[in-house]
């Protein structure tokens, strides 16, 4: 018996793993100290939670623990990386390169960089959602301080060629930042092998708590950045403010679980998603997959339903929790800028749904979801061929 509604919006957020909650509980109860109180046991216990979590997060990406700085989430980490780096290096290298399909927080941070007087190049993507490496190489010059490219797209799930991007950045002398909110703990990311200098991480995308994330910043003078909040100089002076040990412990535990189960979970989700797609396309062959069908995260499927309105379709599938293509990336209504960037018409963009599966999605649920979607589409008159 399937319990509805079925949660299929894992790119928006993930349910917390009970093992993560267990790791957090001591710091919500008996170990309540301020981690920056260095004169007694309560502070030491809380500080230890941060130290352990720093190690756990670093191990996932091949970093050193001292290169992990805790933030309130990936949005803060992205702002810190783009604004902070350009503030330090912009006078010498006044150019930032990013991509038109980045998360809104990266694009808005890039606009802020422009308002500060620096140049920003917004690279287009190909119809499959991937960047053109030749265009990237041409865009990066001696004046480029930073290149920011998302690892896994939050709307269409495509995985950018991280190692190739990193190699270009290293050869050109530019720093490489990646928003890895959707990729950390899900795909293999190695900051050294991929020449990644800065990486933004989110807790609630990996079955951890909301309100916590991290910035990986490669140690060394070349990644010096300006803090974006004034305060007591916590987190090595990079991010002031009293840290929340419970949230940080949750992020660390979530990262550790993801590392241990990554390969197995990737295969399981690929199996489930292929099962789902086979059922859908057998009955609805006119469906369109948005984004590359090979270079993508297995837990994401973004589909356009030709001839249908995505919001009306959503209204007919209340037993499924999915996202509409009209506003996948933000609270702003209107067609998805990501889908428009890959060449989808406004009508196809508005017909899109994003289906996200994850750790707690089962075969019965995905079968029910496929049957529900097929039935709803038929009731609405079917798809245009």
| Structural domain contains residue 385 | no
Mark whether 327 and 361 lie in a shared domain. Answer: yes
Active site residue 105: no
Radius of gyration from C-alpha coordinates of the chain: 21
Within the chain, residue ranges assigned H as helices are 18-28, 41-61, 74-89, 104-115, 133-139, 162-172, 245-283, 310-315, 337-341, 346-350, 363-379
Q: How far apart are CA 383 and CA 247, in angstroms?
A: 45
Residues 6+ apart with CB under 8 A from 107: 98, 100, 122
For residues 155 and 279, membership in a common domain is answered with no
pLDDT at 28: 97
Residues of the chain with pLDDT under 70: 326-333, 385
Three-class SS state of 192: coil
SS3 48: helix
Query: CATH number for the domain including 300?
Result: 3.90.1150.10
Q: What is the pLDDT of residue 6?
A: 97
* Tally of domains in the chain: 2
Q: Which of 257, 281, 315 is the last residue of a domain?
A: 257
Whether residues 367 and 344 fall in one domain: yes
Residues 253 and 323 in one domain: no
- 196: DSSP letter: -
Asked whether residue 203 falls in the same domain as residue 322, the answer is no
Distance between CA atoms of residues 11 and 103, nearest Å: 12
Pair 247, 332 in one domain? no
Residues 278 and 231 in one domain: no
CA–CA dist 349, 285 (Å, integer): 18
- Residue 326: inside a domain: yes
In a domain, 1, yes or no: no
CA quadruple 125, 126, 128, 134: dihedral sign? negative
Decide: 228 and 187 in contact? Cβ < 8 Å: no
247 and 273 fall within a common domain = no
pLDDT tens column, 135-145: 999 999 999 99
Which residue is catalytic, options 105, 169, 258, 328?
Answer: 328
83 and 219 belong to one structural domain: yes
Tell me, yes or no, whether 33 lies in a domain: yes
**Are residue 230 and residue 374 in the same domain, yes or no?**
no
Residue 120: per-residue pLDDT: 98
Provide the pLDDT for residue 326: 57
For residue 286, give Cα distances in angstroms to 37, 303, 305, 306: 61, 10, 8, 7
Q: Are residue 319 and residue 239 in the same domain, yes or no?
A: no
Q: Residue count of the chain, please give it.
A: 385
What are the pLDDT digits (tens) for 294-333?
999 999 999 999 999 999 999 999 999 999 875 555 556 6
320: part of which helix (H) or strand (E)? strand 320-321
* Domain's final residue, options 209, 238, 257: 257
Domain of 231, in residue numbers: 18-257
Residue 384 covered by a domain: no
CA distance 241 to 146: 26
pLDDT at position 382:
84
Looking at the structure, tell me whether residues 66 and 99 fall in a common domain: yes
Does 338 sit behind a cis peptide bond, omega within 30 degrees of 0 on the bond before it?
Answer: no
In a domain? residue 194: yes
Of residues 28, 14, 13, the one with CA closest to residue 248: 28
Residue 87 falls within a domain, yes or no?
A: yes
Is residue 155, in this structure, part of any structural domain at all? Answer: yes
Amino acid 334: pLDDT = 76
Q: Which of 242, 257, 272 is the last residue of a domain?
A: 257
Residue-wise pLDDT for 50-82, tens only, equals: 999 999 999 999 999 999 999 999 999 999 999
């Amino acid at each position: 018996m399937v319990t509805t509604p079925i949660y299929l919006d894992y790119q928006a957020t993930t349910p917390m793993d009970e093992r993560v909650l267990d790791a957090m509980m001591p710091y919500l109860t008996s170990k309540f100290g301020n981690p920056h109180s260095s004169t007694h046991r309560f502070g030491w216990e809380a500080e230890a939670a941060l130290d352990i979590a720093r190690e756990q997060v670093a191990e996932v990406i091949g970093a050193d623990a001292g290169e992990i700085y805790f933030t309130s989430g990936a949005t803060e980490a992205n702002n810190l990386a783009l604004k902070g780096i350009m503030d330090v290096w912009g006078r010498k290298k006044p150019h930032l390169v990013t991509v038109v399909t980045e998360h809104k927080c990266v694009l808005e941070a890039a606009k802020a960089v422009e308002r500060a007087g620096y140049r920003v190049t917004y690279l287009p993507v190909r119809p499959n959602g991937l960047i053109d490496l030749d265009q990237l190489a041409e865009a990066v010059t001696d004046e480029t301080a930073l290149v920011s490219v998302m690892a896994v797209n939050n709307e269409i799930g495509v995985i950018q060629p991280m190692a190739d991007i990193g190699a270009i950045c290293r050869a050109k002398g530019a720093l490489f930042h990646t928003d890895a909110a959707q990729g950390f703990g899900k795909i293999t990311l190695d900051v050294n092998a991929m020449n990644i200098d800065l990486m933004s991480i989110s807790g609630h995308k990996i079955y951890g708590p909301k309100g916590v994330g991290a910035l990986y910043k490669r140690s060394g003078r070349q990644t010096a950045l300006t803090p974006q909040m004034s305060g007591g100089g916590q987190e090595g002076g990079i991010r002031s403010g009293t840290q929340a040990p419970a949230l940080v412990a949750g992020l660390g535990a979530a990262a550790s679980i993801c590392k241990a189960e990554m390969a197995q979970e990737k295969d399981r989700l690929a199996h489930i998603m292929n099962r789902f797609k086979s059922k859908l396309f057998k009955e609805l062959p006119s469906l369109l997959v948005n984004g590359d069908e090979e270079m993508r995260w297995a837990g994401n499927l973004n589909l356009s339903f030709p001839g249908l309105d995505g919001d009306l379709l959503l209204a007919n599938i209340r037993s499924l929790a999915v996202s509409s293509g009209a506003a996948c990336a933000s609270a702003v209504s209107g067609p998805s800028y990501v889908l428009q960037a890959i060449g989808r018409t406004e009508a196809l963009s508005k017909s899109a749904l994003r289906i996200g599966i994850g750790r707690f999605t089962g075969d019965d649920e995905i079968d029910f979801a496929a049957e529900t979607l097929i039935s709803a589409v038929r009731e609405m008159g079917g798809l245009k061929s």
